[in-house]
Structure 1
Amino acid sequence: MDPIVVAAGTAVISAMATSVWETVRDAVVALWRRLHPDKAEQIGEDLEVVRAEIVQARSSGDVSAEQALAGEWQSKLQRLVRNDPALAHEVQRLLEEHLVPALAADEQTRIRTIIQTAHATDHSTIYQAGGDITTHLPPTS
């Protein structure tokens, strides 16, 4: 699954429990309205139902329910991107402009660590890790 989609789906669920949820909801619905206007109202209704579920899951400490709900939104966003890969940019913009700013600092950090990208040119070597990394490179000549 695209890392942007994973991060965005997770952030949608996390943002549901914030005080600025309505702004985030409007941004998610606006994305669907631009891409699939016929489905925008249903997405808005789905978001309201899921919000009630996430608030209940958080109040009872049900982490698995929260993860399952994040998985559902990751799948919805993945279908958008799979059907039109150019939409990955739209999902990333939603994530960066609306979802991440709505989250508490610790959740922002968690969402940002999901996304790691690297581009190598000229036979460069790139190392990425979610934590410490040790390498043993041969001597250069």
Structure 2
Amino acid sequence: MDPTIATLAMTAATTIVGAMATSAWETTRTGVTGLFRRRGAVEQAAIAAQLDQNAALVLRTADPESARRSVTPLWQLQMEDFLSQHPEAAQELQTLLDRIQPQLPQAQENWVMNIVGLGGITVGTMGPGSGVHIHNSSNPARPRPTTGPATTADDARADTNESADR
């Protein structure tokens, strides 16, 4: 599949699912079902029903974000299939997405950074609301070299065994 189409399909899927159970839903539902007119009335009605069922699931579940993560891949496949059969609809879909996206709630982003430091130093970034968890798992009985390859056959075996344990 053309990477541009694949990217558009993924953007469409995340936008469609992100709009479920929000004030942008009616615009999204109407726009998406309108796109599927190219497949005829029966398919258009089936897409409308699928949209309604997925939106109801997101609305009634205790964890809407988990439900969204579950149905997003389904909509990505649906949109990839649609765009592969109707590439002429790409611009209309992009216009719809451009209209919907500003209406969506602003997403919260959470980042996790794992840094492993050898030789007694760890460097990382901090920002507002961030936290640091330090886990010291060094083995003082056998200091590890901080750079370069193992220096003896015993060190090489120890390095291999420790790597396998991780």
Change beyond 3 A, Cα 1:14–1:62: closer
The corresponding residue for 1:127 is: none
Q: Kindly provide the CA deviation profile for residues 34-71 of structure 1, in whole angstroms up to 9, marking residues without a partner as x.
A: x22321111111111111111234xx226443212011
Which has more radius of gyration? 2
Task: Work out the percentage of aligned pairs sharing the same amino acid.
Answer: 28
In structure 2, do the counterparts of structure 1 residues 36 and 100 end up closer, same or farther at CA, with 3 Å as the change threshold?
same
Match of 2:145 in 1: none
2:29 aligns with: 25
Q: Deviations over 1:57-110 (max 9, x none)?
A: 4xx22644321201111111110111233322222122112x213302337x9x
Structure 2 segments unaligned to the other structure (5+ residues): 110-166
The answer as to 2:91 corresponding to 1:95 is no
Aligned pairs for 1:1-141 (under 5 A) are 2-33=6-37, 35-38=38-41, 39-57=43-61, 60-61=62-63, 63-97=65-99, 99-106=100-107
Which one has the bigger helix percentage?
1
Q: 1:63 to 1:21 in 2, by over 3 A?
A: closer
Q: CA RMSD, aligned part only? A: 2.2
TM-score, normalisation: structure 2: 0.55
